[in-house]
Structure 1
């Protein structure tokens, strides 16, 4: 079994018969198989991602190849008496030790070989990545809730990421807050269960084939006390552990240094960004990294970023402009002046990107159904849809990837409890808005 890129593995036969013949690819083939027989392979997957399984088979039997109960490939009964070379659809494998089980479900199958080939790029150019990221969605209030996942929204489920893919979203942003899961004394270890859970959720998302963004989100302790050496050391340690744990993930995983550094000066952010980028680069030399300014990362903040000398960066800003409409629901939206103000934001972002030679994205935009702090303030639903449509149209026009904010609450797009979508979904992914 070939296990590219850089994978290694061993096999163990249980009950199945081997036929030796120099004409076979490895000198042997499985033959005279019976229902209920199986063989297992242990492989060390060097890099997570989408793989194709190639195999040469013949006979009238049937078999499945699975990992942890998930079927990766199968060959149904009624096959040809001649050898056929076939390939599976892309399947996702996480990095690390995997056990593949080849189970025969009907007698008569013969199998010459199985091969794995990596089915996605090892790196992504930031410009083409942003083009492919298109319109995405945030899994807000899940891993960014503190102290525990799901405190502000339903806990993550695998079905959410399948729903995002089926709806037509091209990337998912996973906000994550690390404070309550990290020790307060050196070496500032992140809780292993939290790291395992984060990796599980990231793998669920990557398995869908789109780009995935993971960040450090509500790190208020850092933003309020950045001048403390111990605070900076703790944040550095968190990113050291994140960068090591996710180093072998698909290149579709994008890391975002820090969300909305409210309370930090631009000087502090320009101190933080290159330091954390250097930590990430120790284990992720080519991974895409999102870099932002301070405060709530308005588009005007892009001009204040001291960009490190790095070719794998994506600039970022947020836009809920005007907040009186999009967040507080105290005014209407949709006049020509409103649209021109929004266009000016995207034009500013586009000008900055052209000047810097970097692509840019808005990894939070959206409009509330109602003001979370004053629920009696309700946004006009038609204005809200028009506002989202304008964001999508402008993002598409200016080549800006955009992630709508969905918090399973006042900014909800997808009803996680019922697995249903509101009318905003068709606007966000509509072909005529791209």
Structure 2
């Protein structure tokens, strides 16, 4: 995720409940003939061991504590399991622990330490997602550097896969984390065509490398991602689903940004309370994931989500209910990003205090578990309801991509809910914010803020249930755009 480094001046914390030795032979489990969808069904709530094994800066085993977090112990993982989470993502940065080309040999001590932490979770019967995390210094999804990036990615994953190939189906490999070109204008908006094409190549290279190692890796569930783990229409544009049947797709979605983060400058659209007005952003996200991936038989997992601490724990609980409940309705499992940072500033996503193994925002942790349909210790469960059939009012969705108060860039998604295929389509709708320009669609007419827009020449067909997204610029207006008077024919 996008993060500011935790202060390296934080006092290193005492270990809690030392690192209990765990026999690898006892924890590996078995490899069943199980589909990704079935695995996702067995998963409940997920938690990230963030800013520990993914920390970087010292090129040694000390990386794990370099950002101020204590060394990971079995007691920490037990606390996560005992709270009710059954899925843990272990982010790992490998780039500072490999030798030179062409072998990129991983340091044995680092590999052993990663395996030790994986075994902590496997011993608790948890699902484990193991990734390559902060690798943007060498993993560059662009045609100009693709060959070098691909070779290093393949070398690293071949070694990881060899080390863990005897492990059962509770261990999943996640090929990349937020692959992107740092500092580019579209770093966080889904990249460009060149970058997205490069990510497709890297995803396939990861899959091929793991499968070639054999053993249980021949059918291990592997997790791939779009550019930057972006789940918006632009991020999923041109995204290729490999023919491999044992894959999931990972998305990161801190939605809506004004509530989940602390935007610089405290803009007017930043929020500390959750009154449901931003729920449409969550609905837009989930609907797009459903249309683009789930409806095509692809299992989706949100491997990072969360909301920072703003002295608003009860409000975050409300947000979690809306977010996780809707995700669960679509079969999407959610993994909270926990960086063990708990102060009321910065990127304070912490839920578990790893020093004391106690929960600093326990009601939030409980909510994540409850609305995922998981049992809360000492509490009940919340069984998600079946998603409602979309109504005509859902035909047009507007999502703000970038807002600078006096104007904004947005995506408008048209979904065919007429029950029949359309060969040449026209939609009419009214917004409470003016469109100043648009692309990838045809403006037929405008009366005030009521617009009639037709398909572009190259996209006349819209099957029943299918969606099409075009872009536009908006004038000034509310951060949450309201759409009324929708028709599609």
TM, length-normalised to structure 2? 0.61
- SS of equivalent residue, structure 1 residue 213: strand
Q: Is it true that 1:149 corresponds to 2:89 in the alignment?
A: no
Partner of 1:37: none
Q: Is it true that 1:420 corresponds to 2:358 in the alignment?
A: yes
Higher strand fraction (1 or 2): 1
The equivalent position to 1:168 in structure 2, one of 52, 60, 84, is: 84
1:149 to 1:119, Cα distance in 2 relative to 1, 3 A: closer
CA distance in 2: counterparts of 1:203 and 1:178, whole angstroms: 18
Q: Give how far 1:292 is off.
A: 0.5
Alignment of 1:381-396 (within 5 A): 381-396=313-328
CA distance in 2: counterparts of 1:396 and 1:119, whole angstroms: 26
- SS of equivalent residue, structure 2 residue 278: helix
CA distance in 2: counterparts of 1:337 and 1:223, whole angstroms: 38
Q: Give how far 1:238 is off.
A: 0.6
Q: Deviations over 1:47-100 (max 9, x none)?
A: xxxxxxxxxxxxxxxxxxxxxx97xxxxxxxxxxxxxxxxxxxxx8524xx9xx
Partner of 1:372: none
Q: Is it true that 1:270 corresponds to 2:200 in the alignment?
A: yes
- SS of equivalent residue, structure 1 residue 122: coil
Partner of 2:236: 302
Q: Is it true that 1:403 corresponds to 2:335 in the alignment?
A: yes
Q: Is it true that 1:287 corresponds to 2:254 in the alignment?
A: no
The equivalent position to 2:172 in structure 1, one of 254, 265, 285, is: 254
CA distance in 2: counterparts of 1:220 and 1:269, whole angstroms: 13
CA distance in 2: counterparts of 1:310 and 1:379, whole angstroms: 45
Q: Give how far 1:120 is off.
A: 4.9
C-alpha RMSD of matched pairs (Å): 2.4
- SS of equivalent residue, structure 2 residue 112: helix
Partner of 2:250: 316
Q: Give how far 1:340 is off.
A: 1.8
Q: Give how far 1:221 is off.
A: 1.6
1:125 to 1:382, Cα distance in 2 relative to 1, 3 A: same
Q: Is it true that 1:127 corresponds to 2:57 in the alignment?
A: no
Partner of 1:365: 305
CA contact (8 A) 2:118 2:128 kept: yes
The equivalent position to 1:203 in structure 2, one of 111, 116, 119, is: 119
CA contact (8 A) 2:177 2:228 kept: no
CA contact (8 A) 2:313 2:364 kept: no
CA distance in 2: counterparts of 1:149 and 1:217, whole angstroms: 13
CA contact (8 A) 2:231 2:289 kept: no
TM, length-normalised to structure 1? 0.69
Q: Give how far 1:140 is off.
A: 0.5
Q: Give how far 1:356 is off.
A: 2.3
Partner of 2:103: 187
1:173 to 1:394, Cα distance in 2 relative to 1, 3 A: same
CA distance in 2: counterparts of 1:195 and 1:266, whole angstroms: 30
CA contact (8 A) 1:318 1:364 kept: yes
1:427 to 1:225, Cα distance in 2 relative to 1, 3 A: closer
CA distance in 2: counterparts of 1:336 and 1:391, whole angstroms: 11
CA distance in 2: counterparts of 1:129 and 1:282, whole angstroms: 22
CA contact (8 A) 1:136 1:403 kept: yes
Alignment of 1:214-229 (within 5 A): 214-224=130-140, 227-228=144-145, 229=147
Q: Give how far 1:235 is off.
A: 2.0
1:140 to 1:433, Cα distance in 2 relative to 1, 3 A: farther
1:385 to 1:190, Cα distance in 2 relative to 1, 3 A: same
CA contact (8 A) 2:225 2:251 kept: yes
- SS of equivalent residue, structure 1 residue 432: coil
Q: Is it true that 1:429 corresponds to 2:369 in the alignment?
A: yes
Structure 1 spans left out of the alignment, 5+ residues: 1-68, 71-91, 99-116, 370-377
Structure 2 spans left out of the alignment, 5+ residues: 1-19, 58-62, 182-190, 342-347, 371-380, 385-489
- SS of equivalent residue, structure 1 residue 222: coil
CA distance in 1: counterparts of 2:31 and 2:111, whole angstroms: 26
Aligned length: 318
Q: Give how far 1:323 is off.
A: 1.8
1:252 to 1:118, Cα distance in 2 relative to 1, 3 A: closer
- SS of equivalent residue, structure 1 residue 304: coil
CA distance in 1: counterparts of 2:274 and 2:262, whole angstroms: 16
1:237 to 1:119, Cα distance in 2 relative to 1, 3 A: closer
Q: Is it true that 1:237 corresponds to 2:149 in the alignment?
A: no
CA distance in 2: counterparts of 1:395 and 1:417, whole angstroms: 31
